[in-house]
Copies of this chain bind each other. A is one copy, B any other.
Amino acid sequence: MTAVLDVPSGDAARLDTPAAGDPRLARLSLNQRTTAQWSLREALDGARAAGLTAVGLWREPVAEVGLDTAARWVADSGLRVSSLCRGGFFTAEDPDAREAAHADNLAAIDEAATLGAPTLVLVPGGLPEGSKDLAGARERAAEAIARLAPYAGERGVRLGIEPMNPIFAADRGVVSSLRQALDIAEQHPADQVGVVVDTYHLWWEPGVVEQIARAGERIVSYQVCDWILPIPADNLLGRGMMGDGHVDFAAFTRAVAATGYAGDVEVEIFNAAVWAAPGGDVVATMARRYVELVEPYL
């Protein structure tokens, strides 16, 4: 495995780092979890300092400073919010828990609208504790999305169903392929429900190029990071910087671009080594890798 970070040392590396105003950075968005070591304030400042014009936000750090403060900071920063992570977790069997999830998702839609995020990313949720009824969990996720969709439409926020790598099917996301996510999304108007196309989750899917074409205007977010091995003990943290693993970003990005997708490209990396590094180094590495491996194919 290659290094997680290209620490920008030496003139050559610095010259290679795209700077503010570089048009190649125009669609690159820093998902906040890539720099989990940063507060919201630091992420906004860090993204701007690196020449980015968009960020993907998470609800928890937004809640820490308060929604209104966060919305003001975002407006003052001039950054676009490419998405808000995350709603979802729809799979509970207990009716009270499902009602609570619905209410929480309504709140998340409101937060996305307030922050100016066009998309709320939905993580479907895993199997309930002790349950093996995967089909039932999938049905409940689809039902919950159907119930949310009209409200999302009213608020001008598109729900983004995130199909997740089957590695997470038991504990996090029961929607396991883009094909399956589209089967659910297509039951609703495209301005209400779309799909999140994330290379980590979908790189292995047979026929994914055709499914991306099928998705078309339903792609509400394109997220990139790499599939790396070995998988760490906490399997949530196995995402790598683009170029460190096995994903063919050229092929994947071409397929997304061919749909006419004109939105931002979020880099979302959960990785203990990335989180242990200085945030500025992470963003610089991310920008270089993006410009090399993703942007030329957009």
Q: A135-B251, A251-B135 are in contact. Are A230 and B233 (CB under 8 A)?
A: yes
Tell me how far the C-beta of A145 lies from the nearest C-beta in chain B, rounded to whole angstroms. Answer: 15
With an 8 A cutoff between CB atoms, is A215 at the interface? no
Q: Mark A164-177, 1 if CB is under 8 A from B, else 0.
A: 01110111000111
Contact B246–A235 (Cβ < 8 Å): no
Identify A169's interface contact among B135, B176, B204, B207, CB under 8 A. B204
Contact B246–A204 (Cβ < 8 Å): no
Residues of A within 8 A of B (CB-CB), count: 36
Contacts of A133 in B (CB 8 A): 248
Tell me how far the C-beta of A266 lies from the nearest C-beta in chain B, rounded to whole angstroms. Answer: 21
Main secondary structure of the interface of A (DSSP, over half): loop
Q: A166-B165, A166-B167 are in contact. Are A134 and B204 (CB under 8 A)?
A: yes
Tell me how far the C-beta of A80 lies from the nearest C-beta in chain B, rounded to whole angstroms. Answer: 30
- A238's closest neighbor in chain B, by CB? B231
Contacts of A234 in B (CB 8 A): 230
Q: Which of A173-228 contact B (CB under 8 A)?
A: 175-177, 179-180, 183, 203-207, 227
A218 to B109, CA, bound (A): 47
Contacts of A205 in B (CB 8 A): 166, 176
With an 8 A cutoff between CB atoms, is A57 at the interface? no
Contacts of A273 in B (CB 8 A): none
Q: Mark A125-138, 1 if CB is under 8 A from B, else 0.
A: 00100001111001
Contact A231–B229 (Cβ < 8 Å): no
A205 to B171, CA, bound (A): 15
Contact B248–A134 (Cβ < 8 Å): yes
- A165's closest neighbor in chain B, by CB? B166
Contact B245–A170 (Cβ < 8 Å): yes
Contact B166–A132 (Cβ < 8 Å): no
With an 8 A cutoff between CB atoms, is A247 at the interface? yes
Tell me how far the C-beta of A226 lies from the nearest C-beta in chain B, rounded to whole angstroms. Answer: 10
Tell me how far the C-beta of A250 lies from the nearest C-beta in chain B, rounded to whole angstroms. Answer: 8
Contact B246–A170 (Cβ < 8 Å): yes
Q: A166-B165, A166-B167, A171-B229 are in contact. Are A246 and B179 (CB under 8 A)?
A: no
Max count, chain B CB within 10 A of own CB: residue among A183, A204, A235: A204
Contact A231–B235 (Cβ < 8 Å): yes
Identify A246's interface contact among B127, B206, B245, B246, CB under 8 A. B127
8 contacts between A and B (CB under 8 A): A134-B204, A135-B251, A165-B166, A170-B229, A170-B246, A171-B229, A177-B206, A230-B235
What would 10 more interface pairs be, CB under 8 Å, given A132-B246, A135-B251, A230-B235?
Answer: A165-B166, A166-B166, A166-B204, A166-B205, A170-B229, A170-B245, A171-B229, A176-B204, A229-B235, A231-B231
6 shortest interchain CB distances as A-B pairs = A169-B204, A180-B206, A166-B204, A132-B248, A170-B246, A176-B204
